[in-house]
Amino acid sequence: MKEQIETLIQLQRIEKERAALQTQIAEIPRREQALDEQLGAAEDEITRKKERIDEVRKQYRAFESDVRANQDRIDKSRARLGTIKTNKEYQAMLKEIEELRKKNSKIEDEMLDFLDQIEAAEGEAASEKEKHDRLKAETDGLKKILREEADDASRRMGQLDLHWRQVSEAIDPALLKRFQMVREKVGPVTLAPVSNAVCGGCNLNIPHQLFNELQRFDSLKYCPHCQRLIFWEKPLEENNG
């Protein structure tokens, strides 16, 4: 029985390592998604910067159109000055021209402000693009590492599967079936050592009678608390020592 238990312990180690690898592989898509989301956020920021630039440029072009329209009115009014007969009409026309000039001057001041805004926004967009390009390079590098990790983990799992089959051949089929049935219920930690009447799986005391039966070392028992298979640890420690 001692040899069988030691073989089962070896199987359990294989299964625990395999479970850890499965978790690692399962995490890789989530890690890749997190990288994609980070890159996507950077791309969204670039889009927002470009939209802001387009918005300001659109407003700037509208101001240009207003200035041209006002200038056309100024030119037409100037052309009409020579045809005006009365001083009152002449003064009214000069006043209209002056108001249009003031309006254009105010618009042109706003246009200068918009030019500053465009320049600043373009600088921010260029900076965001540089950040995005660096992040893209980093993301591609990290994804490559993740793919390599996944490949390595898959290869290691294949090796573990082969090792598991080889090791399991040394176990009594009925005992192996029992071990696998318990594993389905309690998870990868199927086999737990008992030391000083305490189950190493759940850290609870087992009944004294059950502990005495374990010390005969002629069979595996069930922990009454966690339902794991349990064995007396001391003989194995002495054997390893």
63: its two tokens: 């101001």
**CATH 1.10.287.1490 intervals, the chain:** 7-168
- Residues in the chain, pLDDT under 70: 235-241
pTM for the model stands at 0.68
pLDDT in tens, 139-175: 999 999 999 999 999 999 999 999 999 999 999 999 9
pLDDT value, residue 107: 94
Contact 146, 32 (CB under 8 A): yes
Using alpha carbons, select from 241, 188, 237, 232 the residue that is nearest to residue 210. Answer: 232
Burial of 199 (0-12, 13-18, 19+ CB in 10 A): buried
pLDDT value, residue 228: 95
DSSP string computed for 185-227: HH-S--EEEEETTEETTT--BPPHHHHHHHTT-SS-EE-TTT-
CATH architecture for the domain at 7-168: Orthogonal Bundle (1.10)
